[in-house]
Structure 1
Amino acid sequence: MVFSSLVFLFTFLPITLVVYYLAPWKIKNIVLLIASLVFYAWGEPVYIILMLLSITFNYFMGRDIDFNQDEPVKKKRSLILAIVVNIFILGFFKYYVFLVQTINSILSINIPYRELALPIGISFYTFQTLSYIIDVYMGKVKVQKNIFNFGLYVSLFPQLIAGPIIKYIDVANQIEHRKLSIDSFGVGTMYFIRGLAKKVLLANNIGLLHTAIIGMEFSEISVLTAWLGGIAYTLQIYFDFGGYSDMAIGLGRMLGFNFMKNFDYPYISKSITEFWHRWHISLSTWFKEYVYIPLGGNKVSVPRHIINIMIVWFLTGLWHGASWNFVVWGLYYGVLLLIEKYILGKYIGKMPQVLQHIYLVVIVIIGWVFFFSPDMGYAARYIGCMFDVGGAGFINKSAVYYFLTNIILILICAIGSTPYVHRLFKILVFKTKKKHIWSAVVIYGILFLIVIAYLVSATYNPFLYFRF
């Protein structure tokens, strides 16, 4: 089930909210847990068993680590077991085929394998359980003794499928003590509708341009066409994933939870370093706290720091998908971050802001080519077309057609990826008299109706990050 489906909007969500708000406080978490499991089972009826096993295993491992607080050897043994089992499950379902294919390719052998369907959201909920186990071990959080509350943390449907990655330490108190209010519900509704509009009106439509271009033969792709395809995907993935995150945050607010911001207008950045402080913030924070800092962070020698950065970005790329193009995408950013820190950083900072921004956007667009390509061969040929190698020259008829028919949409998306539209809206609506809040209600109501009109005639439109 996806947030941008009519079944979710007019069946699952209304029923869940009504039952949740009518339920006594003592069973609200049970209601949410059941709703979350139904939500997951709707699309993954088989893998709900895997999730329940993950919940049960990690619950008891947390209890075991807490029980052995005064016995360091046993406590550490339990931590290692929990980490190994979680990583093994994630690795088996996500990387088994990739590993066998790589071995077959390198050794020129033919080990038979069977394609496995990737359990939706497994990368996200595995990282959440790992953060819980590690934090219990470190004494940062108290162990959760109620298995239903722990199950809710792992499976909470607003952020179950594609994040944000929520650390237990950030929601531990909210799971047991949270406030529901009309104001919070209203703010959550606005977040949700805004995210829904980003997905349906912007991501889906600009995605049509990207889909059309990657469906072309390389001999037909001119430089302009290739860059249009890269720009389209750059905007699509932001509004798709950013829209999902807004919806997740909004749903959380409706239910009394406050989730961390996952995007902070990343395309207004002026360096790669700044970009990764603004893009997929929950994932960056997770790797920083549970991989980068334990490796020593930047409080080590320069060679060791370089190794730490490359380890983190190798794992970041691999986390996104079982393919070498994702690994290269991660290493691409690792190298760029090191170059900025040790070589170009001081020079980039002295450039005019416009040039800094152009530098960032060009680097990011090229990076997304690795991300959307099915393999490295495709990525290499597509990037070649972007720089007039092996394509159809600088410009051709199809390039002119795609440019003229999509330039308005591209400009709308480009402006929408900045904070200025939202700032103007807040100034016009919320920084005037209170009665103007009704203007917001009307605006968001109309926006919702427009979205529904699109969805009525739309086909299935999953989020891009569902594949991870």
Structure 2
Amino acid sequence: MLFNSIEFGVFLPVVFLLYWFVFARNLKLQNLFIVAVSYLFYGWWNVRFLFLIALTTLVSFVSGRLIVHYQRRDTGNAVRWYKNRAWLISAGNILFNLGILGCFKYYDFFVMSFAEAFRLLGTSLQVHTLDLILPVGISFYTFQALSYTIDVYKKKTEATDDIVSFFAYVSFFPQLVAGPIERATRLLPQFYKERTFSYPAAVDGLRQILWGLFKKVVVADNCAVFVNQIYVDYTTKASFSLVLAAVCFSVQIYCDFSGYSDMAIGTARLFGFRLMRNFNMPYFSRDIAEFWRRWHISLTTWFRDYVYIPLGGSRGSRWQRVRNTLIVFTLSGFWHGANLTFLFWGLFNGLLFLPLLLEKKNRRYIDIPAEGKTLPSAGEAISIFLTFILVTTGWIFFRAESLAQAFGYLSAIVSFSPVTGSYISLIPKKICFLVVFLFICEWFQRDKEHALQIDIFPRWGRYMVYYSIVTALFFFTELEDIPFIYFQF
């Protein structure tokens, strides 16, 4: 079920009314209701994969209980044996979840890569692929379940004995299929506490849903049509057209994914939950390090806490810091999909990040860009522009279907093939207007959680903005059904 579908438009108000007016008096029933509607939400796409998410959840829940059980058995000479048991259970749960993820997402890639390597050596191998359908959101809920087991083992959170709350934590429908990737330390305790309806929180949630819907349906989908037209036949296009398409894809992927996150966070607020912020105006970043603190924050911090820091983080020798950084960025690329393009994209960003890390400049921009000023300084504007160019170059590899296409696209750009017609005619005027409108709104709201937090406006001014966005949803919505990009991950 998609957030921008008619089905969800019916689903959400019905669930909202039942949640607050029927099940609000009993916390256990309310959580059980969340599980039921979350499974309905997920099963709407493919009911067969409900078993998969249920299995992941159950195994992680049991693992957490067993880890605590053995960690508490500290009598006599059996201490080390029991601690080893706890470690084995934790490791087993990690391998189990990663095994499921690997089977569905990476098995065919490794098998085909293995066969291709032998083919280059002159040996032909007969291999069999699984050709499995990738379950929507499997990378998201798998990482969410993994973080729970790891945190229980490290004693950063208590193992829950409330199986209903744990099932609700893993399957919570607003962020189930495309994040944010929540931690048990943050989200799970919210299922233990009674929730009361907050009118201001619900209003702000609706505003964030509206802004996310605008970014996805109006901006991202319109950009997608133009980008697809260019990529499908990029070898015949002028260099400037390719540059425009690359820029539009940068806007598309941001509005597509952050739009989903806004809708997820806003929807959660309607039900009394606070999800972590997943995007923080990333295209106003002044270097790559700042960009990665502002882009897909839940995944970036996940890899930081569960991979980068355990490897040693920024401690150790220069070589160890380089190794740790490249491992994390490469894994981040691989998380997105079983394709060399994603691996290269991750490595590319890692190489851009390394000089800042080695020169200890990766934390120099932790404030709000141009804080307290209307416009950035000339130096800040240049830094923002150059960072955007580097990020956009990386997105070319992310968007391409193969490395050959990505390098071919870049080669076509630098070939400086002539433009036929005017520059303005190369891109639809409505896209220019929408993109400019988007960035103006977000620039002036860069210190807020989302662009529609406009409480300083008079009431009539706020409603004028809301009605304008609703009108844009009707007049600028593409008829073509364009799925969320991150549903494939």
Give the TM-score normalised by structure 2: 0.88
Of the three residues 381, 388, 402, the one matched with 1:375 is: 402
Is residue 105 of structure 1 aligned with residue 116 of structure 2?
yes
Distance change (3 Å), C-alpha of 1:110 and 1:225: farther
Comparing 458-467 and 36-45, the one that deviates more: 458-467
Deviations 1:90-128 (A, max 9, x none): 011000111111112111233121311100000000000
Distance change (3 Å), C-alpha of 1:459 and 1:226: closer
CA distance in 1, matches of 2:426, 2:250: 16
Q: Which residue of 2 aligns with 1:215?
A: 232
Distance change (3 Å), C-alpha of 1:115 and 1:68: same
Q: Which residue of 2 aligns with 1:352?
A: 379
Distance change (3 Å), C-alpha of 1:62 and 1:192: same
Q: Which residue of 2 aligns with 1:152?
A: 168
- 8 Å Cα contact 1:65-1:136 kept in structure 2: yes
CA distance in 2, matches of 1:421, 1:294: 33
Aligned partner letter, 2:226 = L
CA distance in 2, matches of 1:305, 1:67: 36
Shift of 1:352: 2.1
Task: Give the aligned length.
Answer: 457
Aligned partner letter, 1:290 = Y
Of the three residues 89, 110, 133, the one matched with 1:78 is: 89
Shift of 1:183: 1.4
Shift of 1:300: 1.1
Distance change (3 Å), C-alpha of 1:372 and 1:419: farther
Q: Which residue of 2 aligns with 1:257?
A: 273
Is residue 412 of structure 1 aligned with residue 437 of structure 2?
yes
Deviations 1:388-431 (A, max 9, x none): 1xxx71423486532464433443344345344897x9899523
Of the three residues 380, 387, 393, the one matched with 2:414 is: 387
- 8 Å Cα contact 2:165-2:188 kept in structure 1: no
SS of structure 1 residue aligned to 2:286: coil
Q: Which residue of 2 aligns with 1:401?
A: 425
Shift of 1:279: 0.5
Shift of 1:223: 1.5
Comparing 110-119 and 224-233, the one that deviates more: 110-119
Shift of 1:60: 0.6
CA distance in 1, matches of 2:37, 2:452: 37
Comparing 76-85 and 354-363, the one that deviates more: 354-363
CA distance in 1, matches of 2:388, 2:65: 47
- 8 Å Cα contact 2:318-2:358 kept in structure 1: no
Comparing 409-418 and 19-28, the one that deviates more: 409-418
- 8 Å Cα contact 1:313-1:330 kept in structure 2: yes
Of the three residues 460, 465, 468, the one matched with 2:481 is: 460
Aligned partner letter, 1:418 = W
CA distance in 2, matches of 1:344, 1:148: 45
**Which segments of 5 or more consecutive residues in structure 1 lack a partner in the other structure?**
none
Alignment of 1:201-280 (within 5 A): 201-218=218-235, 220-280=236-296
Aligned partner letter, 2:310 = P
Deviations 1:326-351 (A, max 9, x none): 000001111111123336959x9999
Q: Which residue of 1 aligns with 2:469?
A: 447
SS of structure 2 residue aligned to 1:68: helix
Alignment of 1:289-304 (within 5 A): 289-304=305-320
Distance change (3 Å), C-alpha of 1:123 and 1:421: closer
Distance change (3 Å), C-alpha of 1:93 and 1:399: farther
CA distance in 2, matches of 1:327, 1:295: 20
Of the three residues 185, 194, 207, the one matched with 1:190 is: 207
Distance change (3 Å), C-alpha of 1:414 and 1:225: farther
Of the three residues 431, 437, 455, the one matched with 1:430 is: 455
Which is helix-richer, 1 or 2?
1
Is residue 161 of structure 1 aligned with residue 177 of structure 2?
yes
Comparing 399-408 and 69-78, the one that deviates more: 399-408
Distance change (3 Å), C-alpha of 1:410 and 1:183: closer
Aligned partner letter, 1:250 = G
What is the alpha-carbon root mean square deviation over aligned residues?
A: 2.4
- 8 Å Cα contact 2:277-2:297 kept in structure 1: yes
Alignment of 1:166-185 (within 5 A): 166-177=182-193, 178-185=195-202
CA distance in 1, matches of 2:424, 2:207: 38
CA distance in 2, matches of 1:175, 1:240: 29
**Which segments of 5 or more consecutive residues in structure 2 lack a partner in the other structure?**
73-81, 120-124, 366-376
CA distance in 2, matches of 1:353, 1:443: 29
Give the TM-score normalised by structure 1: 0.92
CA distance in 1, matches of 2:447, 2:222: 21
CA distance in 2, matches of 1:61, 1:421: 42
Distance change (3 Å), C-alpha of 1:454 and 1:396: closer
Distance change (3 Å), C-alpha of 1:291 and 1:76: same
Comparing 106-115 and 184-193, the one that deviates more: 106-115
- 8 Å Cα contact 2:64-2:159 kept in structure 1: yes
Q: Which residue of 1 aligns with 2:131?
A: 115
Shift of 1:465: 0.6
CA distance in 1, matches of 2:246, 2:83: 52
CA distance in 2, matches of 1:300, 1:69: 30
Q: Which residue of 2 aligns with 1:25?
A: 26
CA distance in 1, matches of 2:228, 2:437: 19
SS of structure 2 residue aligned to 1:352: helix
Distance change (3 Å), C-alpha of 1:192 and 1:92: same
SS of structure 2 residue aligned to 1:47: helix
Aligned partner letter, 1:93 = F
CA distance in 2, matches of 1:283, 1:330: 13
Is residue 4 of structure 1 aligned with residue 4 of structure 2?
yes
- 8 Å Cα contact 2:166-2:188 kept in structure 1: no
Shift of 1:216: 1.5
Identity of aligned residues (%): 33
Aligned partner letter, 2:49 = Y
